[in-house]
Every structure is written in C-alpha cells, then in structure tokens.
Amino acid sequence: MSDILRLTKASFLSGGGDATSQGFHQFLDRTAPGFGTLSKFFSTWLRLDLTTIVLLISFGGDIPRALTGLQNLGTQIYWWITRFFTASISIGANDKLNREVLNWLGAHVLTRQGTRVLTARTEVIQNEAWYYRKPVERDDLHHEKRVPVQYLPTFGTTWFVYEGGFFMVRRVSTRTSRSVYTGIPDEYSAAPEGDEPLVVLRLGRSIQPVKEFLNNCRNFADRQREAFITVRATKNQYNQESWDTTILRPIRPLETVHFDEKTKKELVLDIEVYLNQKTRKFYTERGIPYRRGYLFHGPPGTGKTSLSLALASYFNLELYLLHIPSIRDDNDLENLFAALPPKCIVLLEDIDAIGLQHRKKFDPQDTASDNSDSDSDKESARSFGRCRCTLSGLLNVLDGVASQEGRIVLMTSNVAHKLDRALVRPGRIDRMIYLGNISRHSAKGMFERMYRPYVSNESTLSEKGIEHPGNHANDIDDLAERFSSQIPDDVFTPAQLQGYLLHHRNSPKEATDCISDWIVQEKATMDEAERRKRASAERKAKKKKALKRLKALKALDLDSEKEGDNKEDATTPNVAQVEEVPKKGAYNESDKSQGTVNGTKGAEYVSNGDINQTEVEKTEKQ
C-alpha cells in the first residue's frame, strides 16, 4: 500500500501521468499474477484503465479511516478542553436530584430554546419528572380523553445559558451503544428509560455556580409540589424491593378528616413537638431513640388512611406507603426502611395482616390455635401467602439496633384488640388514636364543607368544589343545623355520610329533606348485614364444634384400638386357636348375607369407644 501511495504522489506532483501509470501497471503485474491479462480485457472491450480504477478504490478505502482518525483526535481535544476549562457534577440515575434537573430543563430550556432533539412520552410512567408541571399546565380535572405528550431531554448534551453562565447537561446512556456498530448516535436510535445518569457542566473553573444551579432545581421542584403531596410506593425490580413508584396526590387539608376535634388537635401538637429541633436534641442528649409511632384504629370507612394523607400534607412530608403482605422477606423490609430519608412518614396499612394474635390464615390445619393468644416471635414466622415477612422482622426495623431514626410511623388497623402485644407496646406505638363513627358536630362540618362556595387559589391546585349561586352562607348554616340534628351519634361512618352527600351534591336542600328516609334505609341495611354476620358466625361456630367433636371421637377410637391390641398381645392364643376362633369384629362367612360382625349389626356396633360410623358421616355432612 505504501508503494501505491508513493507512486500516486509522484504522479500528481510530477505531472508524468503516463510514466507513472506504466510503472504502477508493472508493479501490479509483478505483485498480482494475471493483472496484465485482466487489464488488457478492460482496456480493449470496456475502454477502461484498470490501473486508474485500482487507484480510486485505494483512495476510497483510506478516506473513512482518515476521517475516523480526525474524529477521534477532535474528541480527545474536546475532552481535554472540557477537563481543564469546565466544572462538572455527576448525578446518579436513581437520585431524586436527577429527576429534578430534568424537570427544570423541561420547563425552562426545552420549550423556550426550541430544542430540536427530544424524547416524548404519552403513557403514565413512574417518574416524578413527568408529573411536575406548573399549576397552569397541570389540571387534575382535565376532560381530555388522551394523555398529553410530555417532552424531556434525550441522550447527548443539552446547552443553555443560566445566570450569565454557559451550562451543559449530558444524559448518559448506560446501555451498550449501538453507534459503535452502526455509526448512528444514541439520541437517534433509542429513547431514555428514566435510569440514565446526568453530568452537569459549566464553562469556567468554579464549581459554586453549578451547586447554585442544582439548588435552584430543587427549589423549583419544591414549588411545583406545593399543590401536591408525594406518595412513594415500593417496586420490585430484579427481585429487589425499592422505593421507586411515585404518586402525586392533591393536598388533603386536615379539616376534611372528620373525627373528634380535641383528639385531632392533640395529635397535631404531638407531631409538631416531635419534629421540633429541640426535641431531637433532647432525645439525643438523653440516649432516647428519636422515633415516633402512631396506631389509627377503628371500623372501616372512618378515615384512617385519609388522616395519614392529611398529616403528610399538613407537615409537608413525603408519605412512604408500605404494604407488608406484598414484601417478600425480612431482608427486603430492612432494606426499604434503611433507604428512608431522615424526615418522612411511613404508612403501614392493615397492620393486622401480620400482627394478628389469631393466626388462622397462617396455618389452617392448626385449629387449636384459634383460642390461644400468642405473643411469641416463633409463631409469627409463619408466612402470609407469598409474603415471608415476620413479626420479629417488623419489630426489628421499628426499634431494633439498625432501625432508622427521625421518621414517623403510622399504622392502621380495623381490629386493634387482636394485634400482638409485642407490636403495640410503648416505644413502637406511642399513641393509639381511635377513629369511630361520625358525631353530629362532625356531620355538620362535613355538610358545610360540601356545600359552601369554593374560593379558588391560583397558587395551589386543590380539589375544586361545585359552586351554587343560590346558596348563601346563612342558608348553608341553617341547612347544616337541620341536617346534623337528624344524624344519630356514633351510628354511621364518615364514608357512608359522605357518599350520601355526594349523591345530592348539587342540592343541599334536597340532601337535608331526604336524610331521614336515608337513615331508615341505611339502618335497615346495616341491621340485615349484622344479622347475616351473626348467622355466619353461628354456622362457623357449629362447624368448628362438630370438627372438634369428630377429632375427639377419632382420638378416642385410636386409644381404644391401642388398648385392644395390648389385650390381644397379653392373651395371645396358639396358631390352631387363631385359625378356629375368628377375631372380634371380623366378618364370618355365614354372616355376610345378614351384614353382621360376629352376629352384631355393623351399623350399630360400638365397642370399647369405637366410632359410630353413621354418627361420623352425619357430623361430616354437617
């Protein structure tokens, strides 16, 4: 190849094309046997100079290699300049700050600069960056049938100017780059999946402007979240549980949760004192674990979960939702608690699914355990379906040596009296809050909240109420008084009453006039449900009693058989006697036609505590 380039160079510099072509022809003829014959064929029949064609092909093969070399050289120069003349900060793929930076870019850079290379998604994905939008852009009550298209930066570098500085944000692909084989950049061949790291760069040698930019991204995300409360749930990825799924819920005011006002104020004050910095210092100085736990218990529909969401909204804390039966084992449970931030609220719903004293579902065959109250961790190791979490594992993450401090644990249960005493002892559950049926005072507050005109606030995005032009404040007060006076105390749950008011949401007067009829119908429905519940409990009790009786009869039969075997062993006859004397209970050939056992009818044969077969069959049928 070097000889070819040398000859070609001599040809172009000297201008002696014929001599050079002849010399090159001789060179090819010596190195490639048969080239002369092939060259004559091309020149005679096709009128083409084969030597010129070979020269062009040689140059064409060297050009891509030369361009690749120039590209690599340019890349090396670019990164050399970047290293010495920029300041940069890398952000991990799973870090919350990663999503906040992408959110800031989507709101300030992509729409204003007219970026031409983007990634678009229309489906709801589990990533905060797709949810954070300005209040004017985000409307939870939209009537569109299609999800709007949302845009974010794709792979590669996004350039922008921020506060007089030149910034670059690179979104790095973690997958095997296809551009190595195809030459096509990643931004034109694939779309980000939300798990790519970021690199934030600024032209200049000071790192402080980059830190200020990241703080501004966090502040912007906080302002976007003012109208929402962040609820995080677990996600199983690669057989490991992690806090990944994010749900943004509208702010839930405490006034929308109706229960005893005195209890509500005491609860809020207790949490405020706990979150105070002086309280943390007090706990630390005295060697007390800085943790707080609450148990919300009561009938279904009394607002236990709603109270948890309202508390998270009131104190502006993230709510981490943990469903114990869905966690695979104690190791995953410990990892989830270890990943909690210093200040947050952890909600354990239906904690009785793991902390029940009566573990009937854990071992259906162990019917004797239904009447026993066990607080030991040994029995708690029985699995609940696919879940292998144990009570001891839960207790360890709540107040064990490796348990996280600073968080607030909220638990809900419909049957608090059945919870294991090891779970509800002080230190794990500091306060138990009972949420019962609604009172007249709370019913009045619910009525007023439902029908008072809604005053919009552009700074937040709450649930919008329905305005009624003809409803004045005085009229609402009078109707609320009439309405609440007909509500019996401690009979209906807040969910029942709210469902009724929603049914009459456009007419407060109609809701007041029809409440008495609804009370009669609802009471009749509740009485019927209670009657069916009692009947079902009686049937279960009878069945349980019959099974116990059957078990006792079988045990008695086994004892009698053992006694009979012992007696036969004590008085064992010789072989001749055994052949002549039939065993007790054996069929004789002469008795087959009469269906007897040694002359006694088999259906009536009971000896030494043997089971009456007819009675057993009746019991099993029952």
Q: What DSSP string runs through 177-193?
A: PTHHHH---GGGT----
Q: Alpha helices, DSSP H only, in 86-146?
A: 96-108, 110-113
Phi, psi of 298 (to 5 degrees): 155, 175
- pTM for the whole thing? 0.61
Assign 464 a pLDDT band (cuts: 50, 70, 90): very low
What's the pLDDT at 481?
93
Does residue 247 register a pLDDT over 90?
no
What's the pLDDT at 445?
92
- Greater confidence (488 vs 174) lies with 488
pLDDT single digits (tens) 147-173: 666 677 776 788 889 998 999 888 887
- Greater confidence (231 vs 5) lies with 231
Closest CA to 130 of 174, 158, 159, 100: 100
**Both tokens assigned to 601:** 């009818």
What's the pLDDT at 27?
65
* Cβ(518)–Cβ(504) below 8 Å: no
Q: Which segment of 150-154, 221-225, 255-259, 368-372 scores lowest on mean pLDDT? A: 368-372
Q: Which segment of 98-102, 254-258, 372-376, 434-438 scores lowest on mean pLDDT? A: 372-376
Assign 22 a pLDDT band (cuts: 50, 70, 90): low
Query: Which of 364-368, 446-450, 600-604 holds the top average pLDDT?
Result: 446-450
pLDDT single digits (tens) 411-436: 999 888 888 888 888 888 999 999 99
Contacts of 313 (CB under 8 A, 6+ apart): 229, 251, 252, 253, 254
Does residue 354 register a pLDDT over 90?
no
Q: What is the mean pLDDT of residues 242-271?
A: 87
Does residue 530 register a pLDDT over 60?
yes
What's the pLDDT at 118?
73
Q: What percent of the chain has pLDDT over 90?
A: 27
**Both tokens assigned to 236:** 């199983």
Q: Which amino acid is at 401?
A: V
- Greater confidence (322 vs 137) lies with 322
What's the pLDDT at 492?
94
Q: Which segment of 196-200, 338-342, 562-566 scores lowest on mean pLDDT? A: 562-566
Q: How far apart are CA 305 and CA 428, in angstroms?
A: 19
Q: Which segment of 26-40, 91-105, 390-404, 546-560 scores lowest on mean pLDDT? A: 26-40
Contacts of 251 (CB under 8 A, 6+ apart): 226, 227, 228, 229, 313, 460, 462
Does residue 332 register a pLDDT over 80?
yes
What's the pLDDT at 436?
92
Does residue 100 register a pLDDT over 80?
yes
Q: How far apart are CA 36 and CA 50, in angstroms?
A: 10
Instruction: Sort residue 303 into left (φ over 0), alpha (ψ -120 to 50) or beta.
Output: left
Does residue 132 register a pLDDT over 50?
no
What's the pLDDT at 273?
94
- Greater confidence (29 vs 304) lies with 304
What's the pLDDT at 73?
83
The three-state secondary structure class of 570 is helix
User: What is the pairing mode between strands 86-91 and 150-153?
Assistant: unpaired
Angle at the Cα of 378 from the Cα atoms of 375 and 381, rounded to 5 degrees: 110
What's the pLDDT at 359?
42
Does residue 304 register a pLDDT over 80?
yes
What's the pLDDT at 1?
46
Q: Which amino acid is at 437?
A: N
- Greater confidence (426 vs 191) lies with 426
Q: How far apart are CA 111 and CA 133, in angstroms?
A: 13
Q: Alpha helices, DSSP H only, in 408-514?
A: 440-451, 473-485, 494-503, 508-513
Provide the residue ranges of all domains of the chain, joining segments of one domain with +.
2-80, 92-234, 252-434, 440-513, 524-621
What's the pLDDT at 393?
84
What's the pLDDT at 28?
64
* Cβ(443)–Cβ(484) below 8 Å: yes
Q: How far apart are CA 238 and CA 145, in angstroms?
A: 34
Does residue 6 register a pLDDT over 70?
no
Assign 137 a pLDDT band (cuts: 50, 70, 90): very low
**Both tokens assigned to 473:** 């404040």
What's the pLDDT at 570?
61
Q: How far apart are CA 527 and CA 518, in angstroms?
A: 14
Q: What is the mean pLDDT of residues 477-494?
A: 93
Burial-class residue 543 by CB neighbours within 10 Å (0-12, 13-18, 19+): exposed
* Cβ(443)–Cβ(494) below 8 Å: no
Which CATH number is 252-434 given? 3.40.50.300
Q: What percent of the chain has pLDDT over 70?
A: 64
Residue with tokens 């109420």: 465
What's the pLDDT at 17?
46
Q: What is the mean pLDDT of residues 317-334?
A: 84
Mean pLDDT rounded to a whole number for the chain: 74
Q: Which segment of 272-286, 410-424, 443-457 scores lowest on mean pLDDT? A: 443-457
